[in-house]
């Protein structure tokens, strides 16, 4: 298939041309209005998952849950909704699911009555051996109520033979591969933890004596909490109902590998991640792009909104003026999949429209965070040409995305990733740009404060760029073996 055929066959759903993040989690212990604060914290994390939301609370005697499809505001804006969630402890989850995984049964937090009492869990990440574990549990008689990989953890805790809940929880996590940040609620308090590599983020804060955990610092800011620290990779933080905090390190010391794409796209720009301002890192990536891949142009234009900080950095480093040459509507829902070319173009313009008076006759540099399938980039480049741009140069604030993610990011299969099919010159032809360049992987590492990528032991998980996965991928190997029997387990963040 040649480039023209690929372009014509490309899916024209612009929402399907971004890496879909994971999920967001929030937990609080020691506040009278715990559920209301949780809803506010989840609203700050809405960018991490927009398909469903859930909150579970505990009043010292009973657990209460409310879950719904859609945004936080649509489900928890009323006093009556929050009145259903009494208690001084609560945990919540915003969710983005993979195709076919939508539905209330998969909305978190998941809850189960164990022998030791109630157990609720909210999970950000992906268990890369969930199918393997589920197969074994089903053969032993386990009955699953969801297709979520998170439910595997509940069954492992329930079937562990260790005496205390904390020991059973640790025992369960020792069997798990992949990425997880977890917030768990029990009759005795809250447990927050990260996987030994710290792939997914989790931070800790306080309002007075009230303890809070969240996926990002922005959620702490929004609820008025002071940031204390990150939950360390491999750490379990246990908080009892009196607010006493204990730290456990059951997995030993392992070099951390946090997800580097959090800096590129996933986290909100006003968050602080691994000690670095996300906004500052994105500007630094743009500056690296200008150093590595300069362009003779009149204007630097971001693809809104994710390309804005990198475009500012590119403009400042290059001396080329920064302008908003594309205006985005913030009142548009999911792009419709439509059959005709005219309708396709209408869908593009529902979300983005060229600032024609600014762009006409200009040589422009377009800055975006990534290229996944390439269809959005193709449409945006064409939009600039239709608006009269004389040259369109595309610069990308990440290395080429050549590999799928198995750690909680909904990535297309590798055969649908443009960078896995083409070199950079062919990609430029595909999106019809005058030139195309990506920041180098060492340039990306310099932007996050490293001298360069440590090839022997990378400082971050960058598998989507390098193909070097930091954990085993048991389920992937078994799916590729036709002799293996598999059960459907959704990859849920």
Cα of first residue to Cα of last residue in the chain, in angstroms, is 34
- DSSP assignment of 240-289: ETT--EEEE-TT-------BTHIIIIIS-TT-EETTEEHHHHHHHHHHHH
Contact call for residues 279 and 270 (beta carbons, < 8 A)? yes
Q: Is 184 a catalytic residue?
A: no
Q: How many CA atoms lie within 13 A of 230 on its CB side?
A: 20
Distance, in Å, from the CA atom of 436 to the CA atom of 455, rounded to the nearest integer, reads 26
State the catalytic residue, choosing from 23, 259, 405, 464: 23
Packed helices 130-139 and 150-159: angle between N→C axes, nearest 10 degrees: 40
In three-state secondary structure terms, 1 is coil
CB neighbour class for 324 (10 Å; exposed up to 12, middle 13-18, buried from 19): middle
Segment (H or E) for 131: helix 130-139
The alpha carbons of the chain give a radius of gyration, in whole angstroms, of: 23
203-207 and 226-230 strand pairing: antiparallel
Contact 47, 21 (CB under 8 A): yes
Measured in whole angstroms, the distance separating CA 263 from the mean position of its chain's CA atoms is 11
- In angstroms, the CA 305 to CA 282 distance is 12
Verify cis geometry, omega within 30 degrees of 0, for the bond prior to 305.
yes
Q: What span, in angstroms and rounded, lies between the C-alpha atoms of 462 and 199? A: 10
CA angle 14, 17, 18 (to 5 degrees): 115
Q: Could you check whether the bond before residue 159 is cis, i.e. omega within 30 degrees of 0?
A: no
Q: How far apart are CA 170 and CA 468, in angstroms?
A: 27
Task: Write the DSSP string, 307-342.
Answer: THHHHHHHHHHH-PPB---EEE-SS--SPP--SSHH
Q: Give dist(CA 54, CA 60) in Å, integer.
A: 20
Number of Cβ within 10 Å of residue 75's Cβ equals 20
What is the CA 180 to chain-centroid distance, rounded?
12
Q: Which residues form the catalytic set?
A: 23
């Amino acid at each position: 298939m040649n480039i023209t055929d690929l372009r014509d066959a490309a899916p024209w759903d612009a929402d399907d041309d971004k890496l879909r993040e994971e999920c967001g989690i929030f937990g609080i212990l020691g506040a009278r209005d715990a559920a209301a604060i949780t809803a506010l914290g989840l609203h700050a994390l809405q960018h991490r998952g927009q398909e469903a939301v859930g909150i579970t609370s505990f009043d010292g005697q009973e657990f209460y849950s409310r879950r719904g499809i859609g945004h936080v505001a649509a489900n928890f804006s009323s006093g009556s909704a929050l009145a259903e969630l009494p208690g001084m402890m609560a945990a919540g989850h915003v969710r983005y699911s993979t195709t076919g995984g939508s539905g209330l049964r998969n909305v978190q937090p998941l809850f189960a009555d164990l022998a030791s009492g109630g157990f609720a869990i909210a999970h950000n990440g992906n268990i890369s051996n969930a199918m393997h574990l589920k197969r074994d549990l089903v053969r032993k008689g386990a009955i699953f109520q969801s297709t979520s990989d998170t439910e595997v953890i509940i069954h492992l805790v329930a079937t562990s033979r260790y005496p205390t809940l904390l020991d059973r929880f640790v025992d369960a996590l020792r069997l798990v591969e992949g990425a997880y940040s977890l917030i768990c609620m029990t009759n005795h308090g809250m447990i927050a933890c990260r996987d030994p590599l710290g792939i997914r983020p989790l931070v800790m804060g306080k309002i007075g004596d009230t303890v809070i955990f969240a996926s990002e610092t922005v959620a702490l800011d929004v609820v008025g909490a002071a940031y204390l620290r990150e939950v360390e990779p491999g750490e379990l933080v246990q908080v009892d109902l009196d607010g006493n905090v204990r730290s456990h390190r059951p997995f030993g010391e392992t070099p951390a590998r946090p997800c580097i794409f959090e800096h590129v796209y996933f986290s909100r720009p006003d968050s602080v991640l691994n000690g670095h301002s996300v906004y500052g890192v994105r500007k630094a990536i743009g500056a690296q792009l200008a150093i590595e891949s300069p362009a003779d142009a009149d204007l630097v234009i971001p693809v809104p909104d994710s390309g804005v900080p990198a475009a500012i950095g590119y403009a400042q480093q290059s001396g080329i003026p920064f302008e908003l040459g594309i205006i985005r509507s913030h009142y548009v829902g999911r792009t419709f999949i439509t059959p005709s070319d005219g309708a396709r173009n209408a869908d593009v313009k529902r979300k983005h429209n060229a600032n024609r008076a600014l762009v006409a006759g200009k040589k422009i540099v377009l800055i975006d965070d990534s290229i996944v399938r390439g269809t959005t980039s193709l449409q945006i480049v064409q939009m600039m040409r239709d608006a009269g741009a004389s040259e369109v140069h595309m610069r990308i604030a990440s290395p080429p995305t050549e590999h799928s993610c198995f750690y909680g990011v909904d990535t297309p299969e590798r055969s649908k990733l443009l960078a896995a099919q083409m070199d950079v010159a062919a990609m430029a032809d595909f999106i019809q740009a005058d030139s195309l360049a990506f920041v180098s992987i060492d340039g990306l590492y310099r932007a996050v404060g490293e001298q360069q990528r440590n090839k022997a032991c990378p400082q971050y998980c960058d598998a989507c760029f390098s193909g070097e996965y930091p954990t085993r991928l048991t389920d992937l190997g078994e799916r590729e073996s036709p002799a293996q029997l598999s059960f459907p387990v959704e990859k849920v963040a």
